Amino acid sequence: MQQIIAIDAMGGDHGPAVTVPAVIQTVSKNPNIKIILIGDQNILNEQMISYFDTNAITKADEIKSRIIIHHASEKVAMDESPTKALRNKKDSSMRVAINLVKNGTAGSCVSAGNTGALMATAHFVLKTLPGIDRAAIISPFPTISGKQVRMLDIGANVDSTATHLYQFAIMGSVLASTLDHIDRPKVALLNIGAEEIKGNEQVKQTATLLNQNKKINYVGYIEGDEIFKGDVDVVVCDGFIGNVALKTIEGVSKLVFVFIKKSFTSSILAKLAALVAFPFLKKASRQLDPSKYNGACFLGLNGIVIKSHGSANIAAFANAIQQAILQTECNIPQKIRDEVSKMLQESKI
């Protein structure tokens, strides 16, 4: 079945220079998708022409026929206040992309734009699913075992209550079982100690709620270092904590490779060793490459909204579009709606 994806072409640190090539590459690879490319039509047309001019692309006309440019007169700046963007930018590329999901023209949308504005707009336009109070951002992370772990919320909400965290757990479990084909995904709560005595009030109350729900395979608390072990499939936390963890991961990965670089440039012998070691270090760093894991999404809304990293390159943005395709195929919002509705019938959330 053909899918239609709305792309906020102006979002992100690089805008159309990244989004347009990523769209063309994705359309070339996926015969069943159509893209609505939203933004300044002059800029987008130029980018399209320039890409097709400088790259040898087979079936260029067929590909072009599946990319529709949709003009939007405004764009949301990366540092704009979410409230202002929501109130004043009714014709922003971001807003239009979400509107197209709302009215059913597109099955999903992707944006690398301002996270706060995207969240506020998506919440306002699409609304949350019945039984879900707040949408959350979920993202995959690499682990030592090789399989990935999904963590939510990584920045949509601060001051989450136990009920919110409980709903995040349900949504994360549905996503992992559907997208990753895991029978009963292991769901853990991020805490500061494995012992029952530790943790703050919200986390303790959430544990009680999860223990009562037999449908969720709740496996208990884990600490920050255990996220990367690969023992669990879903990690649940408040958005403030999840975002600190996310950014800490970025910071530490960078720090480690800076120390390695310093070590390999500290002498002539070191520089010679670097020549030999470089391909293998490169291979290791690729496994941690954010582009491989790009494609955080908002869970809990009446529609699919994929959030690409603002600094995403072409490969990373293409990966985010791929996430949109996958989630549409799996019909994630409907799956969450069904699961929550079943649980609501069985117990009070």
- How far is it, in rounded angstroms, from Cα 319 to Cα 308? 9
Return the ∠ at Cα 329 (arms to 328 and 330), rounded to 5°.
90
Q: Which of 255, 334, 338, 341 binds a second copy (CB under 8 A)?
A: 255
**CB of 171 or CB of 190, closer to a second copy:** 190
Q: Which of 185, 239, 303, 333 binds a second copy (CB under 8 A)?
A: 239
Greatest alpha-carbon span in the chain: 69
The letter for the amino acid at 46 is E
Taking alpha carbons only, the member of 222, 227, 217 closest to residue 142 is: 227
**What is the per-residue burial (b if ≥16 Cβ within 10 Å, else e) of 78-108?**
bebebeebbeebeebbbbbbbbbbbeeebbb
Is 219 a residue that touches a second copy (CB under 8 A)? no
- Tell me the closest approach of the beta carbon of residue 184 to a second copy, in angstroms: 24
Stretch that binds a second copy, among 132-140, 210-218, 259-267, 335-343 (CB under 8 A): 259-267
Q: Which of 49, 68, 284, 344 binds a second copy (CB under 8 A)?
A: 284
Site for a second copy in 123-152 (CB under 8 A): 142-144
Is 88 a residue that touches a second copy (CB under 8 A)? no
Residues 27-46, one symbol each (x = binds a second copy by CB under 8 A, - = not), give --------------------
**CB of 128 or CB of 253, closer to a second copy:** 253
Tokens of 127: 């609304």
- Tell me the closest approach of the beta carbon of residue 136 to a second copy, in angstroms: 14
The letter for the amino acid at 299 is L
**CB of 264 or CB of 298, closer to a second copy:** 264
Tokens of 267: 């002498």
- Tell me the closest approach of the beta carbon of residue 79 to a second copy, in angstroms: 6
Cis previous bond, 153, omega within 30: yes
The letter for the amino acid at 255 is L
- Tell me the closest approach of the beta carbon of residue 101 to a second copy, in angstroms: 25
CA dihedral 280→283→289→292, nearest 10 degrees, is -170
- How far is it, in rounded angstroms, from Cα 47 to Cα 18? 10
SS3 89: coil
* Cβ-contact 71, 40 below 8 angstroms: yes
Strands 296-299, 304-307: parallel, antiparallel or unpaired by DSSP? antiparallel
Stretch that binds a second copy, among 4-12, 50-58, 282-290, 304-312 (CB under 8 A): 282-290
- Tell me the closest approach of the beta carbon of residue 169 to a second copy, in angstroms: 17
Q: Which of 131, 224, 290, 310 binds a second copy (CB under 8 A)?
A: 224
* Cβ-contact 330, 178 below 8 angstroms: yes
Tokens of 178: 């559907």
Q: Which of 42, 266, 341, 347 binds a second copy (CB under 8 A)?
A: 266
Edge-to-edge strand order for the sheet containing 304-307?
A: 67-71, 33-39, 3-8, 108-111, 304-307, 296-299, 136-141, 149-152, 234-236, 186-190, 217-222
Is 344 a residue that touches a second copy (CB under 8 A)? no
Q: Which of 32, 287, 334, 341 binds a second copy (CB under 8 A)?
A: 287
Is 293 a residue that touches a second copy (CB under 8 A)? no
SS3 150: strand
Site for a second copy in 156-215 (CB under 8 A): 158-159, 190, 192-193, 195, 197-201
Residue ranges binding a second copy (CB under 8 A): 79, 81-83, 116, 142-144, 155, 158-159, 190, 192-193, 195, 197-201, 223-229, 237, 239-241, 243-260, 262-264, 266, 270, 273-274, 276-277, 279-281, 283-285, 287-288
